[in-house]
Structure 1
């Protein structure tokens, strides 16, 4: 793929990073409306009981604007604020440590990951870009990208991978099996958060992403 349009996500699934690793040019969607049940504010990791959802709580627009709840309207992704009244960062950090502290590479990346869960972020999009920066630095991936300045429902001359942000949509690609911490209990779980790959494969993560079979037309 030459040029792709894709969403920033909360430590998005491996499928997103396969697309990023294979693209010649990357444009992130910055001008769309926020939608629920997407990887904008959720990720899936592997814990001792299997697949675990970690969800970032969002402040409702009505609460921010002082509007009645029935007046809830569409809100731009870049304007969505995190509900920091909930202690979600501590919960997510504890879950990550419990799930991956015995993985081969968690300890190697722990010190760099720790600040993301101990600094307060107001806007979800800012936090997600910080998560992206952590990943690209960790896997030594030089990712040059642009951001949209306006929303296009049907963009031209690029591959639209924005549907990958939908957490309810099944993404199909021939993902190679790698060793996961609890695979002896539940088998291989595909397309988890990029953190699962990082903590299990470490410096090999970028090569792994580049080696995957990607058929973008099946994802749109």
Structure 2
């Protein structure tokens, strides 16, 4: 069994779904520390002028800690900034309403943004993760870290995921190579793989192509073909399981 995972991110990019596709069990790391100016509470959509950031504003006054599941969001009672849900929905609708498959997803998206007030960052991120996974047809076992006891830090923390969940291999993001020690995994007979995601070029709503949008950009433009497009230039589950691509201690020492 292959394990992977990621911290909650808002309107996730394409590479996260390739990690989900590769694994059998995905650890949703909702208790790791919030990262300033990262992707936890923001991402980008496409507009005629280029890329537009959509950022869910934090309620720092009422946030009681640094863990992601403790991060609270501004609500309408906070005034103009607290009306971000309506603003984000209007930005999505305005820029994507002419996309070929926008109508396929519009009802669920509108309900997400206008049908509920989100007070906790992790909960809207998890709702998006669940919804987009279903749209992409990626059904995996999901373990929320807040509901499971894992020990250690950094690479030992991830190794503990594998050991407690019965994983024989772990898929890391590309940055994992900077902190993971292959020897501690090999001692436990757990293989590791560092993802090298190749971003596809695809038709967008507006002229030209801009990389790095939320997966929502791909979905509204390509609908049921989106999964094949985001996976197309990347390693498949079958290829990974055939072996020969797992990282070794020797490679780390080079």
- TM-score normalized by structure 1? 0.81
> What corresponds to 1:83 in structure 2?
74
What does residue 205 of structure 2 align with?
A: 181
Gaps of 5+ in 2: 163-169, 177-194, 236-244, 248-254
Report the Cα distance in structure 2 between the residues aligned to 1:22 and 1:201, rounded to whole angstroms.
22
Equivalent of residue 171 in structure 2, options 159, 174, 178:
159
Aligned partner (choices 197, 207, 212) of residue 228 of structure 2: 207
**Aligned partners of 2:29, 2:233: CA distance in 1, in Å?**
24
- Following TM superposition, by how much is the alpha carbon of 1:176 offset from its aligned partner in structure 2, in angstroms? 2.2
Larger RCO: Structure 1 or Structure 2 (Cα < 8 Å, ≥ 6 residues apart)?
Answer: 1
**Structure 1 residues 216 and 27, CA gap change in structure 2 (3 angstroms):** farther
Q: Which digits, 9 at most, give the CA deviation of each residue in 1:5-62, with x for residues without a partner?
A: 21221111111112212223211112211111122100111011001100000011xx
Deviation at 1:216, TM superposition (A): 10
Q: What SS class does the counterpart of residue 98 from structure 1 fall into?
A: helix
Aligned partners of 2:4 and 2:26 also within 8 Å: yes
SS of corresponding position for 1:87: helix
Equivalences for residues 95-110 of structure 1 within 5 A? 95-110=91-106
What is the root-mean-square deviation of aligned Cα atoms in Å? 2.5
Instruction: Please give the alpha-carbon distance, in whole angstroms, between the structure 1 residues aligned to 2:113 and 2:38.
Output: 20
Moved over 4 A (4+): 214-217
Report the CA distance shift for 1:23/1:30 in structure 2 as closer, same or farther (over 3 A): same
Bigger-Rg structure (1/2): 2
Match of 1:54 in 2: 54
Q: 1:31 and 1:111 mapped to 2: Cα distance?
A: 31
Partners of 1:10 and 1:209 in 2: CA distance = 18
Mapped to 2, the partners of 1:159 and 1:172 lie a distance apart of 10
Corresponding pairs, count: 199
Distance 2:204 2:135 in 1: 19
Distance 1:37 1:208 in 2: 28
Stretches of structure 1 that go unaligned for 5 or more consecutive residues are 66-72, 165-170
Cα gap change, 1:216 to 1:44, in 2 (>3 Å): farther
Pick aligned residue for 2:109 from 110, 113, 117: 113
| Alpha-carbon contact 2:47-2:95 (below 8 Å) kept | yes
Mapped partners of 1:35, 1:208: distance in 2: 30
**Secondary structure of 1:130's match?**
helix
1:108-161 CA deviation, whole Å, 9 max, x = no partner?
110111111111011110111111121122223223211223463222252333
Query: d(CA) in 1 for partners of 2:40 and 2:126?
Result: 11
Alignment of 1:120-135 (within 5 A): 120-135=117-132
